[in-house]
Structure formats: structure tokens, C-alpha cells
Amino acid sequence: MHGYVHRNDVEEFDYDINHLIHAASVLMTFAFGLPLVLWMTTTCCMNMAALQLAEWLCLYGYSLVPYMPAVMLSVIPFSLVAWITLGIATGASCLLVIRNVAPVLLSYDTSSIGGQAKGPPIILLMLGCHVVFLLVLKLTFYHFTPASITPTLAPSLSPVEAPVEAPV
């Protein structure tokens, strides 16, 4: 979208279906795959019935809301703006999920199961997944090439010699 908005010679919309499929897979993995893995980890592996699958899915669905204005502002062709807006969105998203999940995970007593609390590693895993999501968004979808560095096909200033014909 960034390339389309900042071009002057666009006659028709040109899209890359592979890029679109990659974006959809990244979004669906974060919105559905990660909550499913976290639910399976807490419920099946750690015997913590702290949250239901629907609660995990709703939390991660709502956590994507801060990315909407950040994505719109990331179209601005400055890399620093994209880093700041995506960073703020990631912080808000992570804060929403951790504020709602941490009290439940930390209050669930699992010390009798394995001898130590199981909530903090799950919370750190969620934080790490948000950071990875930020890096994937920024480095895959919002990378900018400054106009002064892009190669151009400028005409050469060197004189062109006419071909010399051989005498017959």
C-alpha cells in the first residue's frame, strides 16, 4: 500500500497475491494460532484451567485494535514514524493481554504440581510473542527505501560515438 500511495504514475492497482497471503497468515497466526497454543499449554501441559479458549481468542482479537491506527500512520514514508507507531501499538496490545491474563495465571497455584509457579514463564512468552509480531510487521511490511538511494535510469552524459563504416 505504501508503494501505491507514494507513486505518481499509477494507472491501475498492481497487487502481489503472495504478499497478501503472507500478511493474512501472519495475522491469523497471531490472532488464532498463538491463543490456541497458549490455551493448550496452560490447560493440557500445565493442568491450569485458568482461562477458556474463547477468552484467549477474545483477548488476542481485542489486542489487535491498537494496530489499526498504527498501520494507517505507518504509511508515512519515514521509518522512525513506523517504528514509533508500531511500538506504541505493540505496547498497548501487550498491556491489554497481560493485564487481563496475569492476575489469573499468577493466582493459580501450581506449586504443588511441579514445585514452582508456572505463570511467569507464560507471561514472558506472551511478551516475547508480541515483540516478534512487532519485528515481523515492521521488517516485512513497513520497510522504506529512501528516494535518494534508489537507482534511477538517468541518461548518460558521456558522448556517444557514431559507428564508423568500413571503406569498400
Q: Is the pLDDT of residue 153 over 70?
A: no
Q: Give pTM, 2 decimals.
A: 0.73
In the prediction, which pLDDT does 149 show?
46
In the prediction, which pLDDT does 33 show?
95
Cβ pair 64, 152 in contact under 8 A: no
Q: Is the pLDDT of residue 118 over 70?
A: yes
Q: Which residue has the cell 512468552?
A: 125
Q: Give the Cα separation of 119 and 109 in Å (integer).
A: 9
